[in-house]
Amino acid sequence: MPRKPRLLEIVPGLPHHVLLRGNNRRNLVSGVGDRLLLLRLMLTARCRDTCLIWAAAVMTNHVHLVVVPRSAFELSRWVQSFAQAYAQRRNAAREASGKLFEQRYEALPIESERRLAATIAYIDLNPIRAGLRSSWSTLGTHAGGPEQPALRELWTPSPWWTSLGANDAARQSAYREFAIGRAESWAADVVRATRAVERPSYAVRPTRPDATRVAETVATYRQRRR
């Protein structure tokens, strides 16, 4: 069955789980410099009033985002702008050619607060699950801990996160407890939250991540905030 045109899949004003993958599992980033370049290009291309970024994680061969677009056109224009510029620079630096990103990014509308919460936690904890530094996601911003300044600048707080407390410290404390809970029920909630955007080759395995590692990371944030 043919896929719907991209513009018909986007619901303006609703948060979307956006996923960009490397073409044929090609690595998108190879180090800190690549990650910073990608984030800088996202910032340069972004208009704060047209695409709000509620969560983000830069992985080795894919990028996760929660984006609230003002229109389908604005989301497509933003993604195309930063992805094209990044691909050109990465290919030029490596004297490479060919597609860096898959032709179509994925965008799944998030239609409930529970799914939004699960998706944000999934994105934030994804680098930890993969053994990467947590600062390459918005976990530090949400939970209170090490942050990547470019990610912080890209981020806009979601109404769900702001509802967790009266101020940032209270919200971060509540989110830390929530994140530990996500580790304990990772498979069920994350698979439900992402099944429509994950293709078989990228499917979330129905196994629980290293809950101890996640809990230790979040506990470290708690100690640093004291």
Of 27, 76, 24, 40, the residue nearest 151 (C-alpha): 40
Assigned domain for 177 exists:
yes
What is the domain extent for residue 88?
A: 6-225
Cα gap 21→27, rounded to integer Å: 9
The model's pLDDT over 197-213, given as tens digits with 9 standing for 90+, comes to: 443 222 222 233 344 44
Note the pLDDT of residue 82: 87
Q: Which amino acid is at 188?
A: A
Assigned domain for 41 exists:
yes
What CATH code is carried by the domain that includes residue 150? 3.30.70.1290
Note the pLDDT of residue 16: 94
The number of domains in the chain is 1
pLDDT of 37 over the 50 cut: yes
Of 35, 29, 69, the residue nearest 51 (C-alpha): 69
**Number of helical (H) and strand (E) elements in the chain, helices listed first:** 10, 4
| CB neighbours of residue 198 within 10 Å | 19
Q: Where is 181: in which H helix or E strand?
A: helix 168-184
Assigned domain for 106 exists:
yes
For the chain, where are the E strands, in sequence order?
Answer: 16-21, 51-58, 62-69, 106-109
Over range 73-92, report the average pLDDT: 86
Two structure tokens written together for 192:
């439900």
pLDDT of 45 over the 70 cut: yes
Two structure tokens written together for 225:
């905030």
Two structure tokens written together for 118:
């699960």
- Given a contact cutoff of 8 angstroms between Cβ atoms, the answer to whether 32 and 148 are in contact is no
For the chain, percent of residues with pLDDT exceeding 90: 31
Contacts of 71 by beta carbon, 8 Å cutoff, 6+ apart: 10, 12, 50
pLDDT band of residue 14 (cuts 50, 70, 90) is very high
Note the pLDDT of residue 99: 73
Assigned domain for 12 exists:
yes
Assigned domain for 1 exists:
no
Instruction: Determine how β-strand 51-58 pairs with β-strand 106-109.
Output: unpaired
Assigned domain for 178 exists:
yes
- CA–CA distances in Å: residue 7 to residues 83, 106, 107, 176, 193: 18, 12, 10, 36, 22
For the chain, percent of residues with pLDDT exceeding 70: 70
Angle in degrees, CA 112, 59, 6, rounded to 5: 50
| CB neighbours of residue 88 within 10 Å | 11
The model's pLDDT over 110-137, given as tens digits with 9 standing for 90+, comes to: 988 888 988 898 899 888 877 776 679 9
pLDDT of 182 over the 70 cut: no
Assigned domain for 108 exists:
yes
Over range 78-102, report the average pLDDT: 78
Assigned domain for 80 exists:
yes
Note the pLDDT of residue 114: 84
